[in-house]
Amino acid sequence: MRGIEISLNQTQKIRLQRALKQLESLYLRANFNASVTVADTIPVSNEDTILKGHGTSERDGEVVATLCGVVERVNKLVYVRTLRARYKPEIGDIIVGRVVEVAQKRWKLEINFSQDAVLMLSSMNLPDGIQRRRTALDELNMRSIFEENDVVCGEVRNFQNDGGIQLQARSQKYGKLEKGQLLTIPPYLVKRQKHHFHHLEHYGVDLILGCNGFIWVGELVEARDCIEEDQLNNTEQQFTKSNTTKEMPLETRRSICQIANAIRVLSILGFNVTLEVILETIDLSRTLNLGIDEMLGPEFHVLVAEREAERRTSMTKRKG
């Protein structure tokens, strides 16, 4: 229950504790003895050569952990997987960030990492979709694409020599995010998956689960992949601009808040945030006929925890 700060009454507290304990017991069975803290020795057999991966180092002939976490072994490779840590980017990750600086030919983005990420002007598709070299004029007009404090989504492209990362926006679906909420949750709650972009047409909502713990919930935007539309001339561009300033329907706003609150609940409880769990949580709130504000109340937290405990128990049972 450490770290969970919600005001609960006595029964709620007991119920929550029970649910969490149940979850814990499931987890303990999986791997307990493999967890290490900094400077713990990682046992390895001396006959074999091993490959020392992330979070390990060699001291006096022994392999020592340099991070807190769980020891993972892949064949001869030994590395430490952290449980609670800052975001550590990997190539191909989908992340959401906030522009902090517009610099020469690049934007700098806060992405919850030790360094700001860089998004080069040339790693972006131009708004008019034309394939060409970037000119000085483009550079001057960079603010028309992203300004400071804009929320942007991108993909980790590669590491720079100083350990910083470069982002890229592969297609039109990457880029500026407008009209929605940005949530910040601990990055370890977002697991890497096949898809991080989710278009919830049913709710009229776009959901982007950034690997860095930044989560975007916003209005559904039609993916603009049609070439003809990209080659639009000025009149059309103005048309789309006016389009973006259009009022968002109330229903969509409610959906956005609902999803955002579901994610908040999950992150407070420390559960992994996946699309599946989010949708289940929303369904739960809908069947209970809860208002959006009530979702953040203590009772709902407890209910979600109990449900998750139940779900996971049944899952392990099915497996076992």
CA distance 224 to 173: 7
Give the residue among 186, 303, 31, 15 at the shortest CA–CA distance from 1: 15
Does 194 bind other proteins (CB under 8 A)? Our answer is yes
What amino acid is encoded at 196 in this protein? H
State which H helix or E strand residue 299 sits in.
Answer: helix 298-319
User: Can residue 155 be called a binding residue for other proteins (CB under 8 A)?
Assistant: yes
Whether 88 and 190 have beta carbons less than 8 Å apart is answered as: no
Among residues 163 and 249, whose Cβ is nearest to other proteins? 163
Looking at beta carbons only, is 92 or 249 nearer to other proteins?
A: 92
Stretch that binds other proteins, among 15-23, 91-99, 235-243, 276-284 (CB under 8 A): 91-99
Min CB(56)–other proteins separation in Å: 8
Please report how close the Cβ of residue 92 comes to other proteins at its closest, in angstroms: 5
* Minimum CB–partner distance for residue 239 and other proteins (Å): 16
User: Closest separation between CB of residue 120 and other proteins, Å?
Assistant: 7
Write out 78-120 in H/E/C secondary structure.
Answer: EEEEECCCCCCCCCCCEEEEEEEEEECCEEEEECCCCCCEEEE
Residue (74 or 250) nearer to other proteins, CB: 74
State the angle between helix axes of 275-287 and 250-269 in degrees (0 to 180), rounded to the nearest 10: 110
> Site for other proteins (CB under 8 A): which residue of 9, 231, 244, 316?
231
Question: Residue 215 Cβ, how far from other proteins at the closest point, in Å?
Answer: 16
**Of 93, 39, 27, residue with least CA distance to 65:** 39
Residue with tokens 């300004």: 147
Q: How far is the CB of 131 from other proteins (least distance, A)?
A: 4
Separation of CA 92 from chain center? 13
8, 19, 79, 112: which one contacts other proteins (CB under 8 A)? 79
State which amino acid sits at residue 240: T
Q: Which is nearer to other proteins, 93 or 150 (CB)?
A: 93
Q: Which residues would be at the binding site for other proteins (CB under 8 A)?
A: 48-55, 74-77, 79, 90-92, 94, 120, 122-126, 129-135, 155, 157-159, 168, 170-171, 192-197, 225, 227-228, 230-231, 233
